[in-house]
Amino acid sequence: MSKGTMGIAAENENVQFLENENRKEYTSRTAPTRAKRVEASKPLSVPEYFQDKRNLEDLWKEVFPVGTEWDLLDSVYQYNWNFSNLEEAFEAGGKLYGEKVYLFGSTEPQFVPFRGEYKVIYIPVVVAVVSPFPPSDKIGINSVQREVEEIIPMKLMKMDWVPYIPLEDRNSQVDKLKFQIFILSCTQRRAALNRLKIVRIKKYEYCLPRKLSSIYFYEEEAQLGESAK
């Protein structure tokens, strides 16, 4: 092989070598790299705090508000009414502590400023009757249209005095409890009202316990809780 031929061959080999090197470098630059797996850090858990329920917190809700139209009950219960004074009356040193008490409810419409406007709000009222025995088993039905008040047994209106169980005793055996508080309860289902005659429905709007025998009465009107103002 001549020198000229050897020179060409050597040159061709160098060119081939450079092409191979450039191809490797290009491949290494353009080849997709495997992304590193990044684990998302878990957010720090914020402890939740729940306010403890008071022992008699739902007492006012359990008392049937006699004389209140059925359609108005939802508007009464939509607010966070505060009956802390009533609850405190059952604590040591309170007016009702250690007494046997019978409770019934009602509502009073009042035109009051509320959230920047005036509106009619039905405020719940709870009446406590201190008595060693049920103060009455009668309901009086009266209205401006009636000349004479009608007095009938409570049971005809599906009402009765039933024991109220405080929150702290609800996991106890009922037959071992000594009840201090009794509430007026009504078992008439709202869903069944459409099967009743109008005259019958109206009786619930004008009724009130009658011929009450008691040692004394204690009446408590609700105040709006802070969350509802």
Residue 151 is assigned to a structural domain of this protein: yes
Write the single-letter amino acid at 140. G
**Domain total of the chain:** 1
Residue with tokens 């869903």: 191
Higher-confidence position of 73 and 144:
73
The model's pTM: 0.70
Residue 19 is assigned to a structural domain of this protein: no
Residue 45 is assigned to a structural domain of this protein: no
Let me know the angle formed at the C-alpha of 127 by 122 and 128, rounded to the nearest 5 degrees. 155
Residue 183 is assigned to a structural domain of this protein: yes
Helix (H) or strand (E) holding 102: strand 101-114
Residue 51 is assigned to a structural domain of this protein: no
Residue 181 sits at φ, ψ, to 5 deg, of -115, 130
Residue 18 is assigned to a structural domain of this protein: no
Residue 22 is assigned to a structural domain of this protein: no
pLDDT of residue 128: 92
d(CA 135, CA 102): 8
pLDDT of residue 10: 42
pLDDT in tens, 51-102: 677 889 999 999 999 999 999 999 999 988 999 999 999 999 999 999 999 9
pLDDT of residue 20: 59
Residue 164's pLDDT band (cuts 50, 70, 90): very high
pLDDT in tens, 181-205: 999 999 999 889 888 898 899 889 8
Residue 190 is assigned to a structural domain of this protein: yes
Contact 155, 180 (CB under 8 A): no
Quick one: 103 exposed, middle or buried, by C-beta within 10 A (0-12, 13-18, 19+)? buried
Q: Which domain holds residue 165?
A: 59-228
pLDDT of residue 48: 61
d(CA 81, CA 75): 12
